[in-house]
Amino acid sequence: MTELLKQTVASISESIRFDSSLAPALGDMPFGKGAADCLKHFLETAASLGFEVRNYENYAGEVRFGSGEPFAVLAHLDVVPAGNGWKRDPFGGEIEDGKIFGRGAMDDKGPAFCVLYALKALKEEGFVPKRELRLIVGCNEENGWACIEHYKKAATMPAEGFSPDGSFPVIYAEKGILHVRMHFPMEKPPFLFFEGGESCNMVCDRCEATPRTLSVLRARALGFEMKNKKLISRGKAAHASTPEQGANAIAPMLVYFEKKSADVKRVLDCLFRDKFGLKKLCDETGHLTISPDLIKYRRGELQVVCDIRYPATVPLSAVTEKLSKMGVKYETLHHQPPLVQEKDGALVQELLAAYESCTGKKAEPVAIGGGTYARALERGVAFGPEMEGDEPVVHQANEYISIERVELLLRIYREALLRIAK
């Protein structure tokens, strides 16, 4: 293992030990102490490598190298909650079997440090960038992008760049993102308590409910755990943009109560059985996906927060029209328009060339359902770290990044930044 790789692995492991998931604001730490400490660690590491660094009031940080027309690399240090089902400490940063384990290893602390150390490699080689390379790291990517909003007020966002928070070879298009809270009235609900989920962009992996009348045989048939008259449904977490890679714990719980309540059946029909054809909306970037990730029973209604990813060329009005046909009150919590860049544009082609140079693979740009910081740029794309055939680990238990992938990312990002700024 080269010295550069050793240093990168060590820094990733250290960073994972900070629980940088969203926490209540504390003094001058808008996203909590964990996120602020994680940002401090990143910037101190960059400063120790000889780079100019800036901290924008603990919303975001920046590493600068070179001068000229700015080019941004936008990464993030915040993470989704750990969730359930871990075999290791999610914030332990353990290194074993050629892998670094922990929340954020792949999304997005690992890639952020790979870019930083790729810059270090270029610096040590004596490379003088003809563009100002800015590595911008945010602390609120998973929960609303307040970090980017603050950065744009405090500094000037470059027009062009990439985000190492998607997949290879190059992401030229990203679906639109819509988070809505839906309100389903419950007349004579067959439960006293119903709640599940940890994050609006992570497939629910645990759901709990207390039935008014417990059917032990039915509960066992559906595989529920039973504890003090409470039912516990367990699923598998996944990124909400790819709900098919997880198992939503909310669905079987609703099925349990369906025969006792037409109102519960309505929730299933609307959100899981696609009675109103939301998932039929489609274009070259794929079908619409909907992931009901948070649910709770409050004041006579089931409130469900859904993560919707809609095709890049489909207008938002087509989605809201389908939602309105459900006849269910809903409110928009968050919306990000789709991203579409030219496949044959200079940025896409330059990054493709870097990828092909380091992997030997001829490739074409692709589209994803995920949303990255690339949307914050006039000309932005996502570039790594995932590859076709990877085991899905983002937003899942036992997240990891392999040391082999870290080594490859160092080479790819070095090559890409060299081409961009030479």
- 122 with 418: CB under 8 angstroms? yes
Which helix (H) or strand (E) segment holds residue 358: the answer is helix 346-359
Q: How far apart are the first and last CA of the chain?
A: 28
Token digits of residue 224: 């529920």
Q: What residues form DSSP beta bridges with 340?
A: 173
Task: Please state, in angstroms and rounded to a whole number, the distance separating the CA atoms of residues 15 and 93.
Answer: 8
Token digits of residue 175: 């679906």
Nearest to 97 by CA among 87, 83, 107: 87
From the list 19, 37, 62, 78, the catalytic residue is: 78
Q: What residues form DSSP beta bridges with 332?
A: 180
Token digits of residue 155: 């500094």
DSSP states along 174-228? E-EEEEEEEEEE-SS-SEEEEEE-S-TTB---EEEEEESS--HHHHHHTT-EEET
CA atoms within 13 A on the CB side of 282: 5
Whether 108 sits among the annotated catalytic residues: the reply is: no
From the list 37, 141, 195, 198, the catalytic residue is: 141
What SS3 state is found at 382? strand
Task: Please state, in angstroms and rounded to a whole number, the distance separating the CA atoms of residues 211 and 68.
Answer: 64
Q: What are phi and psi of 291, to 5 degrees?
A: -130, 105
Task: Please state, in angstroms and rounded to a whole number, the distance separating the CA atoms of residues 24 and 35.
Answer: 11
- C-alpha distances (whole Å) from 84 to each of 90, 99, 202, 204 are 10, 20, 12, 10
- 199 with 164: CB under 8 angstroms? no
Token digits of residue 271: 């959100």
Whether 96 sits among the annotated catalytic residues: the reply is: no
Residue type, 419: R
Nearest to 313 by CA among 281, 344, 283: 283
Q: What residues form DSSP beta bridges with 233?
A: 207
- 342 with 350: CB under 8 angstroms? no
Annotated catalytic residues are 78, 141
